[in-house]
Structure 1
Amino acid sequence: MQTTHTRAIARNPGIDLLRGLSILLVVLHHTGLRIPLKKSVLAEFLPARLLGALNYNGYEAVFIFFVISGFLITGNALRRWGSLDQIDMRAFYARRFARIVPCLLAIVATLSVMHLLGVGDYVINRDGQSLPRAIFAALGLHLNWYEGMTGYLPGGWDVLWSLSIEEVFYLGFPLVCLLTRRSWVLAPLLLAFALTLPWTRAALEANEIWQEKAYLPGMAAIATGVLGALLVAHWRAPRWAIHAFQWVGVCGLIAVFLFEGLLWPWLGEGCMLVLTFSALCLLIACDQRSLLGMTKLLPGFGWLRAWGRLSYEIYLIHMFVVFAVVRAYKAAGGDVAYGFLWYLPVLPLCWLLGAAMERWLSTPAERWLRGGSFPVPAYRDL
């Protein structure tokens, strides 16, 4: 396959904004499970539907990350090698290793030490689980399966489930591209796979944890992003189509985030398809706006784009902040009516810790693993 246009993927503010929204929802979700906004005094002033949307869309946000990952991985591969059947497998795996593994090793090591020290919220004590087995699952690409079979791990470990899905995708992606070799062969397969999302989730409803974290639903979302990257590599949308994609995407995400309860009787698991394809519409709009020089930024959202730039690091470290703040909240009396005030330190602390990890670990380690002579790209895939 020869792309119509290949180009470097510079930082795209729209994609950063979508990533920022997604990681923000993850942090709010894990905070809200412990300090729910709907029980605070905010419920007297704000709609319960809005407060619920802020607290309970973290899982959906992870699926948006999956779509973004497939989109960016594919777009960057097309830029580097011109076509997917020309992917250099060794270089692809080396880039993925350099980006993911240093931070992952640091988090697993930290969690292990805290377990051994007996720190509350970090001790693995469920029957059938152990520290060596959790480490093996986290580094062996199957922590999601391990939780599905044995139950939830402590929160710091639990967030690593999505990495198991992404890492298996990374392993298989170059192989699938080299085997199919032509986009006209790959695209229909991707579309069929993307559309399986509701059925693969429904088929796993007997095990709630595995239904949430199984490989196939997550990879169906990633396939949606790959499909979108192939589309924009061959097609330049007119302005009217860009606006249409943008509004369809925005309306679709609002529908899922705010009105999923109303949609569920009609669509059931199909709500997840609305979510993933709405995210894809926004990615296509962001990509095509960039091509046409439509770079006007939404004012007041620079902080959220900054979150998007650090989304991987914040995702890995945010539970340390959440657990610390929740402990302080309980020590102060745990007044749920004013629990929303405890969100105020959570957000800046997550960003600061993520920024520190990016500055002092992920970027230096990635640069060192890539030989030092290669600059870390402005827009990394994850």
Structure 2
Amino acid sequence: MKHLAERNGGIDILRGLAVVLVVIHHMALRIPLAQTGLATIFPLWLLKAFSGNGRSAVTIFFVISGFLITSHTLKRWGTLSQLDWRSFYQRRAARILPCLVTLVVVLSVLDLAQVPDYTIEHTDQSLPRAILAAFGMHMNWYEGQTGYLPGGWDVLWSLSIEEAFYIGFPLFCLITAHFSRFRAFMFFCLAFSMPLSLAALTHASPIWQNKAYLPGMSAIAMGVCSALLAHRISISRRTALRSLMGVTSAIVFSSYLINAPFFWNTLGSVGALALTISTAFLLIAFSWGWMADYTKRGTKWLRSFGFMSYEIYLSHMFVVLPLIALFRISGGNMYIGWLWFVPAISLSWILGYGVEHLLSRPAGRWLRGRPKPQIIDPATT
């Protein structure tokens, strides 16, 4: 993990926290922490908050993705108007395709072999359509229409939203090359459209409410806006602003993860902006060096999760589902069920490490056609 020393510790901590929350959430769906022995030690609201933030974690991923993609674009080409769309797509393909293709191949083999927990069983679903949805960037829509796919396939819903956004991102930047203010305004409108898009989904199916395109793209756009803002503010003003921005956003961010229902009950769908805005401001503060000395002390384990977040996100169900099967075979003692979360997190890291070192890194270097790896763009989850 020598790359960790060269990366922004705060941003990697956010990514690491998000992917750990996803792993915990998928375990907790099958072993509810509120039904384990932890309920005799911790309040139920805290256990439910700790295990129920899977959707919030994906939203965090979206904001981080938009921030880093835009920041790297500005660093590489100076402005969004000068973006090289061929290079942009090449880098996205190098980052996304190796893991995506491998995952789809493995899941297809498991489905054809009728392996439990990996077999597509809904009568209105099929393996060819699942493959098409995975590569056609509409896994979220497909599940919204037909129901949940097995867990290994289900994680691809967020990737569909993200990659659909990035298909249009460079084209929009080039089309609006001479209208930078209009472009910024459109990203701003999209970023703050989440309350309206969520309100419009009130009567939609529960799956589509959580996986629709517009709310996810709104979160990505918030990341884009935050990167543009961070880039425009002069260096001389950053030191004065970063502490206030960092502390305030950290309080709101933590409060939302601990008690999201409070924000929703108080503000309605507008409450969702508390998470995206606080995440965006945290990213700005971290990018300006806020807490730089502290974010790298004793956090290597969490930062390593952030470094491999894409690999862990796509592969962790190969850990979660077998562990749940073993839990049930062993008798399914719910009281000590929380103990199974420890190997779930640890083994997810080990599997992600193997995927990153043996697949993502070498395949990405080969697809980019460069002798040394460049800064890795993020992906969700």
Alignment of 1:1-382 (within 5 A): 11-181=7-177, 182-206=179-203, 207-235=205-233, 236=235, 237-289=237-289, 294-297=292-295, 299-373=297-371, 375-382=372-379
- Shift in Å at residue 300 of structure 1? 2.8
Q: CA RMSD in A?
A: 1.5
| Structure 1 spans left out of the alignment, 5+ residues | 1-9
Query: In structure 1, how many angstroms separate the alpha carbons of the residues matched to 2:342 and 2:55?
Result: 22
Q: Deviations over 1:226-256 (max 9, x none)?
A: 0011111111344342111112221112221
What letter matches 1:313 in structure 2? E
Q: Is the 8 A contact 2:70 2:227 kept in 1?
A: yes
Amino acid aligned to 2:99: C
Deviation at 1:264, TM superposition (A): 2.0
TM-score by length of 1: 0.94
Letter paired with 1:27: V
C-alpha distance in 2 between matches for 1:35 and 1:381: 30
Are the aligned partners of 1:183 and 1:230 in contact in 2 as well (CA < 8 Å)? no
Residue 82 (structure 1) shift: 1.1
Q: The residue matched to 2:120 in structure 1 has which SS?
A: coil
> By how many angstroms is 1:322 displaced?
0.3
Which aligned runs of 4 or more in structure 1 are off by greater than 6 angstroms? none
Unaligned runs of 5+ in 2: 1-5
- SS at 2:125's partner residue? coil
Give me the whole-angstrom Cα distance separating, in 1, the residues matched to 2:321 and 2:38: 22
Q: Secondary structure at the match of 1:380?
A: coil
Q: Provide the C-alpha distance between the structure 2 equivalents of 1:313 and 1:233, rounded to a whole number of angstroms.
A: 29
Q: Tell me by how many angstroms 1:51 deviates.
A: 1.0
The residue type equivalent to 1:266 in the other structure is T
In structure 1, how many angstroms separate the alpha carbons of the residues matched to 2:100 and 2:376?
Answer: 19
Are the equivalent residues in 1 in contact too, given 2:190–2:221 (CA < 8 A)? yes
How far the C-alpha of 1:54 sits from its partner, in A, is 1.5
1:11-49 deviations in whole A, cap 9, x for unaligned?
Answer: 100000000000010000000000111111111111222
Q: State the structure with bigger RCO (CA 8 A, min sep 6), 1 or 2.
A: 2
CA separation in 1, counterparts of 2:296 and 2:166?
A: 33
Q: Match for 1:36: what amino acid?
A: P
Which amino acid is 1:257 matched to?
L
SS at match of 1:269: helix
- 8 Å CA contact 2:92–2:377 kept in 1: the answer is no
- Shift, 1:381, TM fit: 3.2
**Aligned-partner SS, 2:289:** helix
Sort the Cα spacing of 1:302 and 1:184 in 2 relative to 1 into closer, same or farther, 3 A. same
| Aligned residue type for 2:359 | L
Q: Distance in 2 between matches of 1:220 and 1:295?
A: 32
- The 8 Å contact of residues 40 and 338 in structure 1, kept in 2 or not, is answered as yes
| Number of aligned residues | 371
Structure 1 residue 379, shift from structure 2 partner: 4.2
User: In the alignment, is the contact (CA less than 8 A) between 1:199 and 1:269 conserved in 2?
Assistant: yes
Shift in alpha-carbon separation, 1:79–1:239, aligned structure 2, 3 A: closer
Distance 1:127 1:199 in 2: 34
Which residue does 2:3 correspond to in 1?
A: none
Q: CA deviation at 1:294?
A: 4.1
Q: Which amino acid aligns with 2:39?
A: A
Q: TM-score, normalised by structure 2?
A: 0.94
Indicate conservation of the 8 Å contact 1:11/1:379, yes or no.
no
Cα deviation for residue 63 of structure 1 reads: 0.5
Measure, in 2, the Cα distance between the counterparts of 1:12 and 1:20.
12
Contact 2:263 2:272 in 1 (8 A): no
